[in-house]
A and B are shown apart, each in its own frame.
Chain A
Amino acid sequence: DAGITQSPRHKVTETGTPVTLRCHQTENHRYMYWYRQDPGHGLRLIHYSYGVKDTDKGEVSDGYSVSRSKTEDFLLTLESATSSQTSVYFCAISESKGGQIAKNIQYFGAGTRLSVL
């Protein structure tokens, strides 16, 4: 999975508890992304990062926050988990060198399956 490690791979939690998912890359890529994947919706962008401490919202950012203190780590936090956040979460990275095409090609981690009861 292109030097991308997501942890944990599976998590079950209760409504109202905070949850943090971690994405760690060894590729030194500039861009990192968090997606959620739900049946019938495909992959939807939650937040993304274009550098250390540089992040922005995606399509479905409500209820999520992110942080990137190092190039290699991108954290996704659910401040107070809800059942609607039960999903599979994917981290992705893309390169900044090589022009626009390289930036567009994304490499994904194996995903984290989160269940909020």
Chain B
Amino acid sequence: SQKIEQNSEALNIQEGKTATLTCNYTNYSPAYLQWYRQDPGRGPVFLLLIRENEKEKRKERLKVTFDTTLKQSLFHITASQPADSATYLCALARDSSYKLIFGSGTRLLVRP
């Protein structure tokens, strides 16, 4: 079965720096890979989706890369702010399914 690995240790960075989070997966290559943000006591919120034939996707200060050879996605937040502090979840979908498989998330802490 498909497994997703995200760093369970929190990432602690200084405001203004670039945060880079990693999502590794096993087995099949997903058709779509997504990133969600989750704040304490709230549900996840969709951020970005990248397709298997796309190398990179950007949205404002966010950038996602997708390397199907390495079976890895990187999620970057440039010019990070304390308000970016949250847990970030990676999720995969197969082409024929609308069901998602989620990673356990990485907590990001941005120090002022």
Size bin of chain A's contact surface: 20 to 34
Are A43 and B44 in contact, with the CB atoms below 8 A? yes
The answer to whether A105 and B34 touch (CB under 8 A), given A43-B44, A111-B41, is yes
Comparing B58-66, B73-81, B93-101, the segment that makes contact with chain A is B93-101
Q: Is B27 an interface residue (CB 8 A)?
A: no
Interface size class of B (residues with CB under 8 A): 20 to 34
Excluding A44-B102, A90-B43, 18 further A-B contacts by CB distance (< 8 Å) are A1-B43, A4-B43, A31-B98, A40-B8, A40-B104, A42-B4, A42-B103, A42-B105, A45-B100, A58-B99, A101-B32, A104-B93, A105-B46, A105-B49, A106-B100, A107-B46, A108-B43, A110-B41
Question: Residues of B at under 8 Å CB distance from A?
Answer: 4, 8, 31-32, 34, 41-46, 49, 51, 89, 93, 95, 98-100, 102-105
